[in-house]
Amino acid sequence: MSDRFLVTGGVRLAGEVSVGGAKNSVLKLMAAALLAEGTTVLTNAPEIADVPLMADVLRGLGAVVATEGDTVTITAPAEPKFHADFDAVRQFRASVCVLGPLMARCRRAVVALPGGDAIGSRPLDMHQSGLRALGAHSSIEHGCVVAEADALIGAPIALEFPSVGATENILMAAVLAEGETTIDNAAREPEIVDLCEMLQQMGAQIDGAGTSTLTVRGVERLHPTTHRVVGDRIVGATWGIAAAMTRGDVTVHGVRPEHLQLVLNKLVDTGARVDTFSDGFRVRHDSRPTAVNVSTLPFPGFPTDLQPMAIGLAAIAEGMSVITENVFEARFRFVEEMVRLGADARTDGHHAVIRGVERLSSAPVWCSDIRAGAGLVLAGLVADGVTEVHDVEHIDRGYPHFVEILRDLGAQIERVGG
């Protein structure tokens, strides 16, 4: 049996927390280090379980990787291996982001289809079609993405959906392709901008970061660099929502508030007082939150990664909320666990209707993914009694020092072995 958290409800969170680098950025930056022979250094890396997993993937491709605190040092070889096998990539989805760098450096790649969170299908069609547009042959064979090309040639590419993963892989392949590549309907997330900034430091020529059109002019080679990982907006917002749910007062440092503008506006709509400053924000709430509706969308919309926390907030808010999931079809699996905690919630396709109750009730619940796990812990903070949250290794993959931070904010939570 895996570890579990015991969460005692009824405590108001208060204090300050510093947020480290973004999970959704650091893993892609680690893959990008393969693009240049030599040693690249990433600082402000989060101390989460997925970082050593990605380090193992890179080691399997011939890189030397060392981690110390919040610093990751990656030495990429002159000739990387091109086969990322199943044992290395099966544990987490982000491992597929080595596909673009391997095509750029080796002109061929064999990457086992990855595992990861149970939040719905995330097919690699757009990744493959983007590589094909650059001149590669790509197919799924024996459980692997297999791609190869005599040469990569820049091309206009239009994505059907602003997929973060597809944008990243196509971008990383295009930086060493011949000629110019345009990616229309590209993802605009801050983590994409972070990747573009690191690639530019390595010598890549990229215009349009943060917009829906990226223009890449390929160069012959890149060089290693040192880069600071952007702050984790999802972790930061989790603590802000926790403050609103527990009628608390939490100040978050290390996150750019402009990366969370819509989320912070939603907290204001619940009745919270929100103050922002250059590298963070403060959320205060002293009464029962007011219900608000939320629809998840790609950036700058409400992040799908915060949908479980939005449902937790809606579960104890005054009034009825409608939460619409537009990104991952299976993310509402989490609602079944919220119902176990006494939430009045119903799902219908892409919508969840939640009628807030004054207080939830403790029960044993199970995490299905990183964000669902965090959402269940937040729900446990506003439930009567002690809530047991199982399969918490999911939370370890996205939240560094999760229990310690909550304790510092006043929560009663402990980790016990299975």
Catalytic residues: 117
Residue 93 annotated as lining a ligand binding site: yes
Mark 75-103 as b/e (b = at least 16 C-beta within 10 Å).
bbeeebbbbbeeebbebbbbbbbbbbbbb
Nearest to 325 by CA among 357, 381, 371, 367: 371
Q: 217 to each of 6, 116, 133, 181, 240, how far by Cα in Å?
A: 52, 33, 15, 6, 40
Residue 266 annotated as lining a ligand binding site: no
Q: For residues 340 and 77, give the distance between their C-alpha atoms in angstroms, rounded to a whole number.
A: 51
Strand-strand pairing, 205-207 and 273-277:
unpaired
Nearest to 136 by CA among 113, 110, 114: 110
The amino acid present at 121, given as its one-letter code, is S
Q: For residues 331 and 255, give the distance between their C-alpha atoms in angstroms, rounded to a whole number.
A: 25
C-beta of residue 77 within 8 angstroms of C-beta of residue 107: no
Q: For residues 67 and 259, give the distance between their C-alpha atoms in angstroms, rounded to a whole number.
A: 27
Residue 256 annotated as lining a ligand binding site: no
> Quick one: tokens of 226?
């040192």
Tell me, letter by letter, the H, E, C secondary structure of 292-360: CCEEECCCCCECHHHHHHHHHHHHCCECEEEEECCCCCCCCHHHHHHHHCCCEEEEECCEEEEECCCCE
Residue 293 annotated as lining a ligand binding site: no
Residue 217 annotated as lining a ligand binding site: no
> Quick one: tokens of 192?
């994409």
* DSSP conformation letters of 213-273: EEEEE--S-----EEEPPB-HHHHHHHHHHHHHTT-EEEEESS-GGGGHHHHHHHHHTT-E
Half-sphere exposure of 376 (CA within 13 A, CB side): 34
E strands along 55-161, which residues?
A: 64-68, 71-76, 83-84, 108-112, 137-141, 144-148, 156-158
The annotation places the binding site for UDP-N-acetyl-alpha-D-glucosamine at 93, 305, 327
The annotation places the binding site for phosphoenolpyruvate at 23-24
The annotation places the binding site at 23-24, 93, 305, 327
